[in-house]
């Protein structure tokens, strides 16, 4: 059964219709990329799936349950997590705190647990341990206790990605996580993603402009333009699609 | 200049500083932790103060139950304010909160039969004839005064007794609040000061967190209202003008909004600034009439605060780095 099923969803803001009748479904454990020109509606699509914006028409099912009526935090709680284009980090929390906030099931999030300091501090230690482990993997250990606001653009991306992974999602939507990250680090991140995928069977949906990355990592590519899906298939088939060449690839056909 | 050197006056100032300190602790949790700008905080004080007066005078409740219910009503007021308007953006909430406090005050002003209207709590209908509402706390206050009189004579005033009650409570509340701010609950709120989407995308119900912060802050506003009610022994609608909320904000800004421990010192600092400016009597200020001078006082406090915000935007005790991150 598909883990995510999007059925004919649309949204409009005033006169603008960023998403117009999009349908697709994603198999558990798969890796799908979404490409398309600027303004095609890719981020808007993520906003709808993750509950940041509400759909006007259509249906979204996650693990067979309707989620399009839920609040963003409820969708995240169900294990469908996203990152934001351009990396949103909390600047006035430390780097470690940014990550610790993502660990799910923290009893300290409940006000009533103020009166059970033991269980709170035990969980905090555990969250801190997980955070440090994750920082070590992406090479940000020395920034652990600095405000996240001092990180560079690329480091923020690392933090954002790590934080989303920290929630232990069953599916993750990544909005251009590699834009502005240097090539060796991209390679390293791809390795991290691949190992997470193997280990935890996470399902990935990735928005990415770099075609080489897309072709290397994805099992399937969805092409969007003007709010619609114009092509959907194996990575290589995309290169042969006339519509895709017109809308997105231009002269960058295969071999060109 | 005479009052300037009288201990009695400064005892009063310190007692009030403690009450204002508890009051601004509520704002500190709301703004310093949760980033919620409440400009109607005085409304919570009014609700608790008046609830106590009405329940004790008219319905002959015990003061303690009345205080408990009064604080609970302030919490309820915070919850209602939050449920109706906290989903709005920050600016709209700030405006709505002013309206909340003003509506509360107008209601008090115009409900003569319940609140005593313009005449204040003295005019609350009382089945026993004339009466106050502080008999029960006064037992404690007079007990303290009796203990101190042998050592301090006339200085063992009711104000001093209040000071000695309020400050330990203030420190207790500061301690509780400092601990509260170390929890992951507070961490989520600190995140929401900057951005709602991130905590939401991590499964946090931002609205629930904010509402809780608003209610806890309102509880402290209510407790300050209970202290205030005991201190003044009678209440009138003009005790609860907007300016009171802004005094609370001044203390918060002085302390640095994110530094809970600075609040005690900032409250004292504010108390002295407020008290001392009453006595700027030299020429040419001496030419002004008393009401004009009280405006001047507020003006001077404003100037000091602006200077502080320019030179030390983080407050006296805050970390500058936290203010300037991009
Ligand atoms: N909340 C909104 N209100 C109004 N218009 C919006 C909103 N969100 C998106 N849009 C519009 O929808 C269109 C698609 O935007 P979107 O961010 O989804 O593009 P994208 O495919 O992610 O592009 P890019 O590759 O540049 O990130 C744009 O024209 C944008 O202005
Ligand atoms: Mg986008």
Residue to substitute in A11, A15, A44 for testing ligand 1 pocket (most ligand atoms within 8 angstroms of CB): A44
> What is the domain partition of chain B in residue ranges?
12-241
Q: Higher confidence at residue A21 or residue A189?
A: A21
| pLDDT for res A256 | 41
Beta-strand (E) ranges in B200-244?
none
Which residues lie across from A172 on neighbouring strands?
A81, A204
Is pLDDT above 90 for B171?
A: yes
Instruction: Report A:29-88 residues touching B (Cβ under 8 A).
Output: 50, 52, 71-73, 76-77, 81-84, 88
* pLDDT tens digits for range A89-107: 999 999 999 999 999 988 8
**Which of the 8 DSSP states describes residue B31?**
I
Instruction: Find, among A75, A59, A81, A29, the residue nearest to A194 by Cα.
Output: A29
The CA-based dihedral angle spanning residues B314, B320, B323, B324, taken in that order and rounded to the nearest 10 degrees: 140
| pLDDT for res A203 | 94
**Which of the 8 DSSP states describes residue A10?**
E
Q: What is the chain B residue with the closest CA to A150?
A: B325
* pLDDT tens digits for range B41-75: 999 999 999 999 999 999 999 999 999 999 999 99
The DSSP bridge pattern shows strands A4-13 and A57-62 to be antiparallel
Of the given ranges (A14-23, A57-66, B19-28, B146-155), which has the lowest mean pLDDT?
Answer: B146-155
Q: Higher confidence at residue B323 or residue A148?
A: A148
Distance A44 CA to ligand 1 centre (A): 6
Is the separation of the CB atoms in A8 and A2 below 8 Å?
no
| pLDDT for res B3 | 55
Other residues' Cβ atoms within 10 Å of the Cβ of residue A27:
14
Report percent pLDDT > 90 for chain A.
56
Is the separation of the CB atoms in A202 and A196 below 8 Å?
yes
Q: Phi and psi at residue A151, in whole multiples of 5°?
A: -70, 150
| pLDDT for res A113 | 84
Q: What 3-state class would DSSP assign to B257?
A: coil
Is pLDDT above 90 for A120?
A: no
Q: How far are the Cα atoms of A184, B71, B80, B186 from residue B46, in angstroms, in the given order?
A: 62, 10, 16, 27
Give the residue whose CA is nearest to atom 7 of ligand 1: A13
Residue to substitute in A35, A41, A51, A56 for testing ligand 1 pocket (most ligand atoms within 8 angstroms of CB): A41
Q: Phi and psi at residue A66, in whole multiples of 5°?
A: -65, 130
The reply to whether residue B187 touches residue A97, judged by beta carbons under 8 angstroms, is yes
| pLDDT for res B258 | 67
Is pLDDT above 90 for B298?
A: no
| pLDDT for res B314 | 74
* pLDDT tens digits for range B97-110: 999 999 999 999 99
Is the separation of the CB atoms in B116 and B123 below 8 Å?
yes
Of the pLDDT bands very low, low, confident and very high (cuts 50, 70, 90), residue B307 is: confident
Of the pLDDT bands very low, low, confident and very high (cuts 50, 70, 90), residue B2 is: low
Which of the ligands is closest to the CA of residue A174? Answer: 2
The reply to whether residue B201 touches residue A76, judged by beta carbons under 8 angstroms, is yes
What is the DSSP secondary-structure string of A97-142? HHHHTTSTT-GGGSGGGGG-HHHHHHHHHHHHHHHHHHHHHHT-GG
* pLDDT tens digits for range A121-174: 899 999 999 999 999 988 899 999 999 999 988 889 889 999 999 999 999 999
Who among B198, B212, B321 is closest to A90 (CB)?
A: B198
Is pLDDT above 70 for A252?
A: no
Give the separation between CA B19 and CA B274, rounded to whole angstroms: 14
Which residues neighbour A86 within 8 Å (Cβ) at sequence distance 6 or greater? Answer: A176
Q: Higher confidence at residue B36 or residue A236?
A: B36
Which CB contacts under 8 angstroms, 24+ apart, belong to B113-120? B114/B54, B114/B58, B115/B50, B115/B53, B115/B54, B115/B237, B117/B237, B118/B236, B118/B237, B119/B236, B120/B234, B120/B235, B120/B236, B120/B237
Minimal C-alpha gap between B188 and chain A (Å): 7
Predicted TM-score (pTM) of the model is 0.90
The reply to whether residue A111 touches residue B193, judged by beta carbons under 8 angstroms, is no
* pLDDT tens digits for range A31-57: 999 998 899 999 999 999 999 999 999
Of the pLDDT bands very low, low, confident and very high (cuts 50, 70, 90), residue B325 is: low
- Which residue is listed with tokens 């407020």? B274
Instruction: Find, among B240, B249, B263, B225, the residue nearest to B305 by Cα.
Output: B249
| pLDDT for res A255 | 46
| pLDDT for res A77 | 93
Q: Tell me: ipTM over 0.95.
A: no
Instruction: Find, among A247, A248, A241, A221, the residue nearest to A232 by Cα.
Output: A221
| pLDDT for res A48 | 95
């Amino acid at each position: 059964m598909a883990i995510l099923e999007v059925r004919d969803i649309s949204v409009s803001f005033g006169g603008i219709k960023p998403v117009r009748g999009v349908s697709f479904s994603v198999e558990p454990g798969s890796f799908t990329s979404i490409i398309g020109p600027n303004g095609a509606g890719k981020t808007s699509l993520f906003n709808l799936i993750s509950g940041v914006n509400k759909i006007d028409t259509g249906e979204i099912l996650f693990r067979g349950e309707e989620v399009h009526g839920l609040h963003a935090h409820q969708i995240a709680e169900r294990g469908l997590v996203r990152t934001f284009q351009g990396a949103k980090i909390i600047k006035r929390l430390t780097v470690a705190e940014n990550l610790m906030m993502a660990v799910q099931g923290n009893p300290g999030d409940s006000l009533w647990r103020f009166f059970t300091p033991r269980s709170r501090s035990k969980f905090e230690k555990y969250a801190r341990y997980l955070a440090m482990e994750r920082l070590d993997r992406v090479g940000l250990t020395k920034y652990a206790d600095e405000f996240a606001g001092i990180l560079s653009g690329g480091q923020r991306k690392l933090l954002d990605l790590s934080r989303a992974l920290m929630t232990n999602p069953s599916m993750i939507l990544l909005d251009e996580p590699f834009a502005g990250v240097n090539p060796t680090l991209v390679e390293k991140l791809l390795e991290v993603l691949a190992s997470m995928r193997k280990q935890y069977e996470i399902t990935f949906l990735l928005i990415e402009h770099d075609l080489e990355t897309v072709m290397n990592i994805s099992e399937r590519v969805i092409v969007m333009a003007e709010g619609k899906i114009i092509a959907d298939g194996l990575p290589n088939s995309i290169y042969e699609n006339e519509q895709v060449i017109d809308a997105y690839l231009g002269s960058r056909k295969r071999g060109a | 200049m005479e009052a300037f050197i009288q201990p009695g006056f400064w005892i009063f100032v310190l007692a009030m500083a403690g009450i204002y300190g508890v009051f601004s602790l509520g704002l500190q949790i709301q703004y310093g932790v949760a980033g919620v700008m409440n400009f109607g905080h005085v409304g919570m004080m009014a609700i608790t103060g008046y609830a106590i007066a009405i329940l004790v005078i008219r319905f002959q409740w015990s003061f303690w139950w009345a205080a408990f219910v009064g604080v609970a009503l302030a919490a309820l007021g915070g919850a209602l304010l939050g449920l109706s308007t906290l989903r709005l953006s920050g600016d709209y909430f700030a405006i709505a909160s002013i309206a909340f406090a003003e509506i509360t005050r107008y209601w008090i002003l115009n409900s003569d039969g319940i609140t005593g209207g313009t005449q204040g709590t003295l005019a609350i209908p009382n089945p026993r004839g004339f009466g106050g509402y502080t008999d029960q706390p006064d037992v404690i206050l007079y007990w303290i005064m009796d203990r101190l009189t042998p050592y301090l004579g006339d200085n063992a005033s009711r104000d001093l007794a209040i000071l000695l009650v309020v400050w330990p409570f203030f420190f207790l509340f500061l301690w509780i609040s400092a601990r509260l701010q170390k929890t992951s609950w507070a961490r989520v709120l600190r995140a929401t000061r900057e951005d709602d989407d991130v905590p939401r995308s991590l499964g946090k119900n931002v609205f629930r967190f904010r509402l809780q912060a608003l209610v806890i802050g309102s509880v402290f506003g209510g407790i300050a209202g209970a202290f205030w009610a005991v201190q003044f022994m009678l209440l009138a609608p003009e005790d609860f003008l907007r300016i009171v909320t802004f005094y609370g904000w001044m203390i918060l800004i002085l302390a640095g909004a994110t530094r809970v421990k600075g609040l005690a010192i900032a409250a004292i600092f504010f108390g002295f600034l407020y008290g001392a400016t009453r006595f700027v009597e030299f020429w040419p200020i001496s030419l002004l009439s008393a009401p004009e001078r009280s405006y001047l006082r507020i003006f001077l406090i404003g100037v000091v605060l602006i200077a502080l915000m320019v030179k030390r935007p983080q407050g006296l005790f805050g970390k500058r780095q936290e203010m300037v991150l991009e």
